[in-house]
Structure 1
Amino acid sequence: MFWIRDKENQKPFIKEDEIFNILEGTKSPSKLKVRDIIQKSLSKERLNPDEVATLLNVEDDETLEEIFEGARTLKRNVYGNRIVFFAPLYIGNKCINNCEYCGFRSSNTEIYRNSLSFEQLEKEVKALEDKGHKRLILVYGEHPDYDADFIAKTVETVYKTKNRNGEIRRVNINAAPQTIDDYKKIKEVGIGTFQIFQETYHFDTYKKVHPKGPKSSYIWRLYGLDRAVAAGIDDVGIGALFGLYDYKFEVMGLLYHTIHLEERFGFGPHTISFPRIEPALNTPLSEQPPYLVNNNEFQKIVAILRLAVPYTGLILTAREPSHIRNEVLKLGVSQIDAGSNIGIGAYSTEDQQAYKKSQFTLGDQRSLDTVINELAIEGYLPSFCTACYRMGRTGEHFMEFAIPGFVKRFCTPNAILTLLEYAQDYAPENTRISIEKRIEEELKVMNEGPLKEKLLERMDLVKAGKRDLYF
């Protein structure tokens, strides 16, 4: 058991003055220095603050392109061409916080407040399973109704809800920070990753945009994942909401958070998210973010995060429009959602008023099948794999595989098996043809040997009706 100090005695591990000094001291970097940093990252070694600040201070297009190419290369080396799919499922939008950028904030009288009943939750899960989803992230407002017991019961409901060949094999959580005892309750029901986004790592900005509610405590939120790890949850995800403060500072904040977790627990975050603020109903700040991140800066953020923490999955959500997602995917993204609807109860009802129950608006509203088909044609390998979590390849053990690039050895065959399931159970003919061609190309470049032989055997079993086979 890790000893966790009470929140009054904890000190921020985000050293603001140090970050500002490093960013100032690494301005106008030489191309040679940038290239050396890229080469270090390509050796799958996590970058230090000076190195990340140096990359953030690159402004000329030619050197930026070298950063982008480094990120593309690292993605290929560590993750291959695999893209893992998930779907967000919003359980309820009641909230006692008053975050100025969020449609769920307590003072927003125009949003329709609603929480799924367990019967409605089952309908939502079946609707998602009917599309082919295998991985979900459950999202909750911060409210007494959504306590640890409730979260645990919703997770249990999701896992037990099956529909023909459909089942959810991994449930991740995006919820308010918990106490250690409450995290233990949630862990017991078999969650995957627990996500907490700090939103902004800049203290004064944080206090300004979180004026009311439990979320107003910067420290309680900052140490939220420490308590999760202390409770035995070793798959944790971090994130920042870009647009609240300067993007360079926020990237450094994500790096410092990563280093903190590594130094304290021996492993870093399983995922890093980097959403931009999107418009929300009756939420003025979301319409005019104080530090708007343009598309070029957004690509730069993703590429640098990929180089900064080579072993960590990068999550790109459907907040972004499809053309931006298509460009950013190339720069090191490993997980995306598709066919998403963030209205409460909207998957099963196709509610046309879902935006009145939503936290923000979505930029990419393509169906899951459309995205899978497009990516397969473009040379990506769509995946619904959940094997690492179920085989215990999490936390420090996951880093042992991910840092040297060994994880790709398991991910490619597991991705093929889950994609073949999708082709057999859900894909229309045009997508099935695209998938078959993609799998054929993957098999051509796979090394001959026992692993490939076992994969071919298991593919035959999938075609014969077997499901949930993995390495």
Structure 2
Amino acid sequence: MSKDFIDDKKLEDILAQVKPTEEKIETIINKSLNKERLSLEETATLLQADKPEWIERIFKGAEELKNKVYGDRIVLFAPLYVGNKCINNCEYCGFKASNTEIDRCTLTIKELQAEVKAMEKKGQKRSILVYGESPDYDADFIAKTVQAVYDTREDKGEIRRVNINAAPLDVEGYKKLKEVGIGTYQIFQETYHHETYQRVHHSGPKRDFKWRVTGLDRAMEAGIDDVGIGVLFGLYDWKYEVMGLLEHTIHLEEKYNVGPHTISFPRLKEASNVSIDDKYFVNDEELKRIIAILRLAVPYTGLILTAREDAKLRREAIKLGVSQIDAGTKIEINGYSDDDDEQDINREQFVIGDSRSLDDVIYELLSDGYIPSFCTACYRLGRTGEHFMEFAIPGFIKRYCGPNALLTFKEYLEDYASEKTKDVGEKLIQEKLAEIEDEKTKEKIEAKLEEIENEKRDLYF
């Protein structure tokens, strides 16, 4: 049986004891740039580095590391809410059991397929399915919905990777999801601070801190070696929560030799029938510090910046280490098939800040020199878990990600892009090809790009 590995006093003591200096900060950043994961003490030093010049140095280091490990690609996905029934009473969530104002709904398979088709018509290739915690949403139900998503096609569209955001399961439940080929299983602890956790989780299974914090241990034991962690920033001190995320990362590395595939850092947002306490509010500058420090602390992991944040902040924050964003996001039940731009707070878990279309987000990424990617090659070729770590930790994964990003983006340009996006996108692809020094590699990529122009799809290295 896995134990609760979060020690509040230890993390708080480390934060209290470190003393940042310019020399220490430089040494720590250089270690990170060598693609080595930072220790708790090193990360705490960066967290306590409050001088403007120190913060700027951390930002520059994070930006350099992102370019070194991930290059200029940004992976795109979209969330799909399957059901919002919930038996938990979490004071920060619009789906909480006590909220009688929320419209409760669970998609039928037919409705789910309509949602998927609507997403595919826009060009989406990756999705994360989101579920409340309810007896109705057991492993068998989740597996059935995952299979339905994979089986649903619209013209040239398909969802090639289905990730999951759901309640923790037992080992047997996770095994059922592994059988249907899920991607990442994502569980956010929300807060790693025990006292705060008990205060904000009033009732329901989620009140059990240990069951939740060990949820990904059971996933690993079931053979799911691709997992994601996260914190809801705003519930407790943000510096402590970053330490909690790193402690969780270290635990997974030490026990399973596999760290988290992704780390998420959503902020507390307005939601139906929720009163927000701003005591631990995280402002925009603090969020940017969180992103930069996480990038330096865990160089190999993907960092996810969601559409909770507005377009301006997302544009500023991406360069600090973000590797994945959602775009064209709808979080209302039946939101994609309804295609209504108006948000209804009683049909969604929280209010999103960036409701732009997928094409608009892609156009902006292109304007900033990024290559949008819908790549799923690592997952489908078995480059997950320890195998992924072997490539990701030294930065070798970039060798596959760049070419595969170009191929999946080319599909988007051929099948879904607006004219302005296609014009800019084609120019950027040619620019990226010109940067490739190895002629054999360039020829292979050019050959596959030509195949895509000739109606071939789903090509990757």
Give TM-score, length-normalised by structure 2.
0.99
Q: Partner amino acid for 1:296?
A: E
Cα shift at 1:449: 3.2
Q: Partner amino acid for 1:433?
A: D
Which residue pairs with 2:107 in the alignment? Answer: 116
Cα shift at 1:438: 1.2
Secondary structure of residue in 1 paired with 2:129: strand
Which residue pairs with 2:407 in the alignment? Answer: 417
Which residue pairs with 1:192 in the alignment? Answer: 183
Are 2:152 and 1:161 aligned?
yes
1:453 to 434, 440, 443: 443
Secondary structure of residue in 2 paired with 1:284: coil
Are 2:237 and 1:249 aligned?
no
Instruction: Work out the CA distance in 2 between the residues paired with 1:363 and 1:442.
Output: 31
Aligned 8 A contact 1:377 1:438 in 2? no
Instruction: Work out the CA distance in 1 between the residues paired with 2:368 and 2:344.
Output: 32
> Could you list the per-position Cα deviations for residues 321-340 of structure 1 after superposition, in whole angstroms to 9, with x for gaps in the alignment?
01110011010000000110
Which residue pairs with 1:182 in the alignment? Answer: 173
Q: 1:84 to 1:38 in 2, by over 3 A?
A: same
2:33 to 42, 56, 60: 42
Aligned 8 A contact 1:277 1:289 in 2? no
Are 2:341 and 1:349 aligned?
no
Which structure 1 segments of 5+ residues have no match? none
Cα shift at 1:52: 0.1
Are 2:319 and 1:319 aligned?
no
Instruction: Work out the CA distance in 2 between the residues paired with 1:289 and 1:199.
Output: 16
Aligned 8 A contact 1:344 1:354 in 2? no
Which residue pairs with 1:358 in the alignment? Answer: 348
Q: Partner amino acid for 1:159?
A: Y
Q: Partner amino acid for 2:274?
A: T
Instruction: Work out the CA distance in 2 between the residues paired with 1:158 and 1:184.
Output: 19
Which residue pairs with 1:440 in the alignment? Answer: 430
Instruction: Work out the CA distance in 2 between the residues paired with 1:85 and 1:252.
Output: 27
Which residue pairs with 1:393 in the alignment? Answer: 383
CA RMSD of aligned residues (A): 0.9
Instruction: Work out the CA distance in 2 between the residues paired with 1:77 and 1:225.
Output: 29
User: Deviating runs (4+, > 3 A) in structure 1?
Assistant: 351-354
Instruction: Work out the CA distance in 1 between the residues paired with 2:3 and 2:364.
Output: 47
Which residue pairs with 2:367 in the alignment? Answer: 377
Cα shift at 1:16: 1.2
1:294 to 283, 296, 319: 283
Q: Partner amino acid for 1:452?
A: K
Q: Partner amino acid for 2:38?
A: L
Cα shift at 1:353: 6.1
Aligned 8 A contact 1:235 1:269 in 2? yes
1:15 to 7, 18, 25: 7
Cα shift at 1:89: 0.1
Instruction: Work out the CA distance in 2 between the residues paired with 1:174 and 1:387.
Output: 21
Instruction: Work out the CA distance in 2 between the residues paired with 1:175 and 1:11.
Output: 21
> Could you list the per-position Cα deviations for residues 337-393 of structure 1 after superposition, in whole angstroms to 9, with x for gaps in the alignment?
011010000100124464311000000111100010111121001000000000111
Q: Partner amino acid for 2:420?
A: N
Which structure 2 segments of 5+ residues have no match? none
Are 2:325 and 1:333 aligned?
no
Moved more, 156-165 or 344-353: 344-353
Note the 1:213-232 alignment, pairs <5 A. Answer: 213-232=204-223
1:31 to 3, 22, 31: 22
> Could you list the per-position Cα deviations for residues 384-405 of structure 1 after superposition, in whole angstroms to 9, with x for gaps in the alignment?
0000000111011101101111
Instruction: Work out the CA distance in 1 between the residues paired with 2:73 and 2:343.
Output: 35
Q: Partner amino acid for 2:185?
A: F
Instruction: Work out the CA distance in 2 between the residues paired with 1:16 and 1:391.
Output: 39
1:75 to 53, 58, 66: 66
Aligned 8 A contact 2:3 2:214 in 1? no
Secondary structure of residue in 2 paired with 1:211: strand
Task: Give the paired residue count.
Answer: 460
Name the % identity.
Answer: 62
Instruction: Work out the CA distance in 2 between the residues paired with 1:99 and 1:249.
Output: 20
Secondary structure of residue in 1 paired with 2:157: coil
Instruction: Work out the CA distance in 2 between the residues paired with 1:83 and 1:349.
Output: 27
Q: Partner amino acid for 1:361?
A: V
Instruction: Work out the CA distance in 1 between the residues paired with 2:36 and 2:385.
Output: 17
Instruction: Work out the CA distance in 2 between the residues paired with 1:299 and 1:103.
Output: 26
Q: 1:16 to 1:38 in 2, by over 3 A?
A: same
2:457 to 464, 467, 471: 467
Secondary structure of residue in 2 paired with 1:119: helix
Instruction: Work out the CA distance in 1 between the residues paired with 2:301 and 2:218.
Output: 20
Instruction: Work out the CA distance in 1 between the residues paired with 2:37 and 2:440.
Output: 32
2:394 to 404, 413, 416: 404
